[in-house]
């Protein structure tokens, strides 16, 4: 097992990474102070890992209950969030109740938001079971739900007590979900660490095959990088925005096609290719680096051609993105692997990228 620490002063917490960690009581014990625990999971993950987690918690002598939510991004909303509050209030859960999020990013984001707001804040532990949630969403404290008018629009920054990333749980992940997680791994290498990017290129087949050693290394390096960015800029005042590389174009793809058509990681994969194209057009990145990025995204079985939504629609969608300021689109571009810049871009360059990407 490897442990990465997220250095946030009194809100610091460990990320434990390794095989078969869901069954290890001693990892959970230090982070559960009260007498009751509520596991929040969904209809897909509960039959896979619910029993293993409850068996691990049994020796701790806590009062353990489980809330099983419907599965899917479409359920990341107020109604489903209320099911968590219904269960907590119905069980008279007190301020020391610990919530455990057992599932992917949807469960993690919703459980974190429930923990941030139930009785004005109860502790929670993340047990991410998708690659995307292990390398990205479980780390950094962004929690929340979607609103019909926008994704992730209602939420809070709220840090967990611990993250327990069980690489063994990835064995049951559908291949498309695995690839979507690899997109965020590639993103992390591209923006922050050229040697990690080299490592991903060399190990992409092992990652595609879900080899545990390669996955553990990818999760460790991604968490180290995300943890250091978050420690420097917890509430996205500046630096943290680099984590959105590929997301400006990616969010437009997701919203333009209708959420759920492409997975988030698929849209980010293609979005990185588009951002690299724009980086080359504006003279920041050399074409050989762009070609390496495209080849790696392709090797991860992610899309590299954007859907034909029309340039005007793309621009509209990017303008309403949460990260745009007063309708002004900020692009996260690459200078080289490991170095980014955040900038506006002239319309003709953006249009040329959009035309070249479909
Ligand atoms: N908080 C953040 O910083 C942050 C960052 C990135 C993404 N997100 C959010 O994360 C969500 C996406 O997360 P995701 O990609 O994990 O999607 P997800 O939670 O929908 O999980 C994907 C699918 O895999 C299933 N699943 C989970 N674990 C499994 C396992 N071990 N075996 C088999 N199936 C399993 C899920 O039930 C679901 O059907 C989005 O809502 C996004 O907004 C949040």
Q: Tell me the whole-structure pTM to 2 decimals.
A: 0.96
Pocket lining: 106 vs ligand 1, CB cutoff 6 Å: yes
253 with 280, same domain? yes
Are the C-beta atoms of 44 and 72 separated by less than 8 Å?
no
* Å from CA of 282 to ligand 1 middle: 34
* Å from CA of 128 to ligand 1 middle: 8
237 with 304, same domain? yes
- Geometric angle at alpha carbon 223, from 221 and 225, rounded to 5°: 70
Which residues span the domain enclosing 152? Answer: 2-172
Whether 244 is catalytic: yes
Residue of 105, 154, 179 best suited for mutating to test ligand 1, as the one with most atoms within 8 Å of CB: 105
* Å from CA of 291 to ligand 1 middle: 29
Q: Was 108 annotated as part of a binding site?
A: yes
Q: What's the domain count of the chain? A: 2
First CA to last CA distance, the chain: 43
Structure-block tokens of residue 15: 């990320």
Of 172, 206, 221, the residue that ends a domain is: 172
101 with 203, same domain? no
Give the per-residue pLDDT at 238: 81
140 with 30, same domain? yes
Strand ranges in the chain using DSSP code E only, listed in sequence order: 2-6, 13-18, 36-42, 63-69, 98-103, 124-128, 142-147, 150-157, 162-166, 331-336, 339-343
Q: Was 76 annotated as part of a binding site?
A: yes
Pocket lining: 177 vs ligand 1, CB cutoff 6 Å: yes
Of 139, 172, 205, the residue that ends a domain is: 172
224 with 253, same domain? yes
Pocket lining: 76 vs ligand 1, CB cutoff 6 Å: yes
Residue nearest atom 5 in ligand 1 by C-alpha distance: 137
- Geometric angle at alpha carbon 10, from 7 and 16, rounded to 5°: 50
* Å from CA of 267 to ligand 1 middle: 14
- 249: domain CATH number is 1.20.1090.10
- 75: domain CATH number is 3.40.50.1970
181 with 289, same domain? yes
Of 172, 201, 228, the residue that ends a domain is: 172
251 with 114, same domain? no
The C-alpha atoms of residue 48 and residue 50 are separated, in whole angstroms, by 6
- Strand pairing class (150-157; 142-147): antiparallel
Q: What string of pLDDT tens digits covers the 358 residues of the chain? A: 999 999 999 999 999 999 999 999 999 999 999 999 999 999 999 999 999 999 999 999 999 999 999 999 999 999 999 999 999 999 999 999 999 999 999 999 999 999 999 999 999 999 999 999 999 999 999 999 998 888 889 999 999 999 999 999 999 999 999 999 999 999 999 999 999 999 999 999 999 999 999 999 999 999 999 999 999 988 887 889 999 999 999 999 999 998 889 999 999 999 999 999 999 999 999 999 999 999 999 999 999 999 999 999 999 999 876 666 777 899 999 999 999 999 999 999 999 999 999 9
194 with 338, same domain? yes
194 with 326, same domain? yes
149 with 180, same domain? no
The C-alpha atoms of residue 353 and residue 297 are separated, in whole angstroms, by 17
159 with 210, same domain? no
Whether 184 is catalytic: yes
181 with 108, same domain? no
Q: Was 187 annotated as part of a binding site?
A: no
């Amino acid at each position: 097992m490897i442990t990465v620490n997220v250095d946030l002063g009194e809100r610091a917490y460990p990320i434990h990474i390794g095989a078969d960690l869901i069954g290890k009581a001693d990892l959970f014990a230090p982070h559960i102070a009260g007498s009751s625990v509520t596991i929040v999971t969904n209809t897909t993950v509960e039959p896979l890992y619910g029993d293993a987690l409850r068996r691990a918690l049994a020796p701790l002598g806590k009062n353990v209950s489980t809330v099983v939510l419907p599965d899917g991004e479409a359920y990341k909303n107020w109604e489903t969030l209320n099911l968590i509050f219904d269960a907590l209030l119905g069980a008279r859960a007190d301020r020391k109740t610990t919530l455990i999020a057992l599932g992917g990013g949807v469960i993690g984001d919703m459980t974190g938001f429930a923990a941030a707001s139930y009785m004005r804040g109860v502790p929670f532990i993340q047990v991410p079971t998708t690659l995307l949630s292990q390398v990205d969403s479980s780390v950094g404290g962004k929690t929340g739900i979607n609103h019909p008018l926008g994704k992730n629009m209602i939420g809070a920054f709220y840090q967990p007590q611990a993250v327990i990333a069980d690489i063994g749980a990835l064995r049951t992940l559908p291949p498309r979900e695995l690839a979507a997680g690899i997109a965020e791994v590639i993103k992390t290498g591209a923006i922050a660490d050229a040697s990690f990017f080299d490592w991903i290129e060399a190990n992409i087949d092992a990652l595609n095959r879900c080899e545990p050693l390669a996955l553990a290394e990818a999760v460790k390096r991604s968490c180290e990088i995300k943890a250091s960015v978050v420690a420097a800029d917890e509430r996205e005042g500046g630096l943290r925005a680099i984590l959105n590389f590929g997301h400006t174009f990616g969010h437009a793809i997701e919203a333009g096609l209708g959420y759920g058509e492409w997975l988030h990681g698929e849209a980010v994969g293609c979005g990185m290719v588009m951002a690299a194209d724009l980086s080359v057009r504006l003279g920041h990145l050399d074409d050989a680096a762009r070609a390496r990025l495209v080849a790696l995204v392709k090797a991860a079985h992610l899309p590299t051609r954007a859907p034909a939504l029309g340039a005007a629609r793309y621009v509209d969608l990017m303008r309403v993105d949460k990260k745009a300021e007063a309708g002004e689109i900020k692009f996260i571009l690459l200078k080289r692997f490991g170095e980014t810049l955040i900038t506006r871009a002239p319309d003709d360059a953006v249009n040329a990228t959009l035309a070249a990407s479909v």
